[in-house]
Structures are given as structure tokens and as C-alpha cells.
Amino acid sequence: MAEEKRKPFFQTLPGILTGTAAVLTAVTGLLAGLGVFSPSPSPPPEPNGVVVEEDIQDQVRTAASQWLAAENIGDVDALVGMVDIPYYDQDRKLVFSLDEYRGILDERDWDKRTEREFRFDRLAVHSVPELPPVADPDVAMDIDAAVSSLGLGDDDYCVAATVLDPLYGTYDIFLLFRVDAGEARLAGLIAPES
């Protein structure tokens, strides 16, 4: 019988596959050790006290929604608690104290207002410098006057809200927010004259 000559293990198919697997494992381990597979470093977190613009916009949107809800039901205490002094009132005057503002609110006929069941639709938040043009020239002048008299600037915001009112129809109101130390407070209200 002829004697079969045996090949060395690493020259057989199982040996070649084993060797290839060993080389791949070694290369992968080397690359992992060098940090090739680690995720890119994330940016450092914001330092305490720094508020990014998206946070302020969310805060403004939430404050506007809370104001709209309080206005709709005539919650005078909530409305007074939301404003920053000086405040530009919808009657086109500056209010210099919370007591004065409460007096203005107390003069309103809240029963008549809540019977109308008006609703608010479409809140749009804009920084004051990026406020889009307003179609009603009187309202545009009122916004300019309020922004100027309140000293609002690049870091402050305006929320445009569409009101669906069964008595007066559909119209827009504008809520002005002053941002100070990362906190947004209501600084004014511009509404068309009814």
C-alpha cells in the first residue's frame, strides 16, 4: 500500500480558516486597543447656569400657553404672577407696578369674556429681531412702540397667537417676553383694538 503523505495542518482548508480567524482577531484587538472603534467624544456639557436658545424657546412657548389658559378663564392671580414690570398693556400704556396691573385686570368683565369661549390656535415663537412682518399696520406700530419702550432686544421673544373668537372673529395677538438670567417673563401684550 502506498503511504499517503500528510500535509501540515496550516496548509489544509481547516488550518487556513483557523489561521485567517486568528489574524482577524489579532488585528481587531489591536485596532480596539488603539481606540479606533470607540465613539467620537461628545461635546462637553453646558456649564451650570447657561441656557441654550431651544430651552428659552420652550420656556417662552410654555409661558405663552399658560398665559392663554389663564386669560381664557379669567385667572387674575395667575396673570399677575406671570408679568414682568414694566409691562406694556394691550391698552397701549406702560404699567409700572403689579398692583396697577391687577387693577386693570379687575376692571375687566370676566363673566362676559368666559361666556364667549374663545380659543387660541397656532403659537409661533420668534426672537424679537426675527419677528416676521405683521399685516395690520396699526398692530405693527404697536409692536414697534412696545419693543422700544420696554427696551427689548436680541435675547427677547415674541409669540404670535391666533385667536378664534365667536364675537370678533379670527385675529392675532402678540405676547412679548423679556429674557433675563435664562428666565422668560411676559413683558407685554399687543392685540388689535376691538
Ordered domains of the chain (ranges, CATH): 53-190 (3.10.450.50)
Q: What is the pLDDT of residue 9?
A: 73
**Which of 148, 163, 157 has the alpha carbon at shortest distance from 179?**
157
- Distance, in Å, from the CA atom of 92 to the CA atom of 79, rounded to the nearest integer, reads 18
pTM tops 0.75 = no
- Phi, psi (degrees; rounded to nearest 5) at 193: -70, 135
Q: What pLDDT shows up at residue 191?
A: 85
CA distances (Å), 63 to each of 18, 59, 113, 176, in order? 66, 6, 21, 11
What's the confidence (pLDDT) of residue 178?
A: 94
Which pLDDT score, from 0 to 100, does residue 151 have?
A: 92
Place of cell 424657546: 57
Residue 122: enclosing H or E segment and its boundaries? strand 119-127
Cα–Cα distances in angstroms (integers) from residue 120 to residues 69, 71, 166, 173, in the given order: 9, 10, 12, 10
- Helix (H) / strand (E) containing 82: helix 76-82
- Give, for all 194 residues of the chain, the pLDDT tens digit: 556 677 777 778 777 878 787 777 877 777 777 766 665 555 555 555 545 678 899 999 999 989 888 888 889 999 999 999 999 988 888 999 999 999 988 888 777 665 566 777 788 899 999 988 888 888 889 999 999 999 999 999 999 988 888 777 888 889 999 998 888 999 999 988 75
